[in-house]
Amino acid sequence: MGRGAGGGFTAPGATPWLPLSAQPGVTVEEQRPDPGSMLRLGRDLIALRRSAADLRSGGYEALPSPDGVWAYRRGGGVAVVLNLDDEAHRFDTAGFRGRVGNATGRWSSTGSILPPGKRS
């Protein structure tokens, strides 16, 4: 399924500039219907960036966060919180207003559980 040269990421006959995995589930064809795929996450993040001017041109301000978590504000209206650790972390969202544009964890009005960011 989608195992031709390029795995669905390049035009037929083109040579990919990076090696492709033989692991199942990594082609465009295999990821397209999966709402939890890396393809969908990437497309959702690109759409979010296009929809928010602050993500394209807003200033950067670091926010306090636990070790292993990178949190920052872009412009006046966007906060970005990324868990880069192997462990889940809690991030206090008290004082933040607005909506969650994209998340891979569980969010509430008082805090969020950030799932581990690295895969084993």
Is pLDDT above 60 for 120?
A: no
42: Cβ contacts below 8 Å, ≥ 6 apart: none
Is pLDDT above 70 for 65?
A: yes
Cβ neighbour number for residue 16 with a 10 Å cutoff = 11
d(CA 104, CA 37): 11
Residue with more model confidence, 92 or 5: 92
Residue with more model confidence, 95 or 76: 76
d(CA 69, CA 79): 13
Q: What is the mean pLDDT of residues 89-95?
A: 78
Is pLDDT above 80 for 97?
A: no
Q: Does domain 28-114 have CATH number 2.60.40?
A: yes
Tell me the per-residue pLDDT of 11-28, one tens digit each, with 9 for 90 and over. Answer: 878 877 777 767 777 788
Q: What is the pTM of this model?
A: 0.65
Domain ranges of the chain: 28-114
76: Cβ contacts below 8 Å, ≥ 6 apart: 54, 58
